[in-house]
Amino acid sequence: MTWAQRWRWWRERRRIHPPNDAHRAGELAEQRLARLCRAAGKANGWRVFESLRIPDPEQGGKREIDLVILGGDVLLVVEQKHWSGRFSITPENTLLQHRNNGTEHDHGGVAQRIERKARMLASMIPDVDLAVEVVLAFTHPSLTWPDDVDRLGPTVVDERGMIQRLEGERPGPINDRALAVLESLGTWDEVIMNGGLSKKGDVLDMGLGEDVNRWLARSPAPVEITVHHRRGILSIMSATPTKAKLERGGEGMDLTLPSTATVRMHVVGQPSPETVMWSQINDVHLSGHRHG
């Protein structure tokens, strides 16, 4: 390796990719709502599933549902929004957010989109008599709602309303056939860059060789990958400044990563796959159904 290549590699390891503050706040709010729902619904037998991917036979690809909550024969399909300010409903039944900084954002047919996802999910559970309910959960404490919010169609709740629903309703014995379908669905993989930026989507190729591919193929269980980079100036002299640890259950692998190692992934919302350098990655979380 030439000194120019060592220099570029060192610069890549030191590059910081900060998170998008608005997206990060939304992700943290989703995680909080999921935790609260699990705690609130546990005693009454509700099961909570986060970020489920479902196939879209009409438009192709996959669609994500923020939360799916199953209790007895009741299926709650939840879209979580962490908006601040206030929102209004247009004559076309779309949502217009009026932010505190004076700007506006047209979120389009949020209600229609989640209703469509709910229909697609229900179609994956045939011959089961489920009561499917679409829920819009607005979790920011300072959001102001319009008086005519009920005309949207879905049930509209705040964070406390969602918790009270799960704490106060006993739906009965879980529907095993519906549960089996939900447990078979996957979530997104996540690549966390140095600095905290998160990329969610499908990891298509780890770029770590056939031994790693065979290890991954042995089990569909989730995999956690922690990357350790040497970033001090003297690390420019090292031929092995980047190492990774793969963990799944009680087993794992330790790897030394070359400067050319990359991950190929299809990030949510992007038209085509992209390549990410391992030298710029901090952690990787592979879902248990990454090829589903």
Average pLDDT over residues 41-45: 95
pLDDT over 90 (residue 91): no
d(Cα 186, Cα 152) in Å, to the nearest integer? 29
Question: For residues 98 and 90, what is the distance between their CA atoms, to the nearest angstrom?
Answer: 12
For residue 79, pLDDT over 90 is answered with yes
Would you say 239 and 1 are in contact if contact means Cβ atoms under 8 Å apart?
yes
Which CATH code is given to the segment(s) 21-184?
3.40.1350
pLDDT of the residue at 255: 96
How sure is the predictor about 61, in pLDDT bands with cuts at 50, 70 and 90?
confident
Report the share of the chain in percent with pLDDT over 90: 65
The pair of three-digit structure tokens given for residue 11, joined into one six-digit string: 């610069």
Q: What is the pTM of this model?
A: 0.76
110-160 pLDDT, tens digit each: 899 999 999 999 999 988 899 999 999 999 998 998 888 888 889 999 999
CA distance 25 to 253: 33
In this prediction, residue 151 carries a pLDDT of 85
Domain ranges of the chain: 3-15+194-286, 21-184
Q: Average pLDDT in the 201-215 region?
A: 92
Q: With H, G, I as helix, E, B as strand and everything else as coil, classify residue 167.
A: helix
Q: Which two three-digit tokens encode residue 200?
A: 């969610």
Q: Report how far Cα 235 is from the mean position of its chain's Cα atoms.
A: 34
Among candidate residues 88, 122, 124, the one with its CA nearest the CA of residue 106: 88
Q: Mind listing the pLDDT tens digit for each residue in 156-204?
A: 999 999 999 999 999 999 999 999 999 988 888 999 999 999 998 889 9
Per-residue confidence at 289, pLDDT binned at 50, 70, 90?
Answer: low
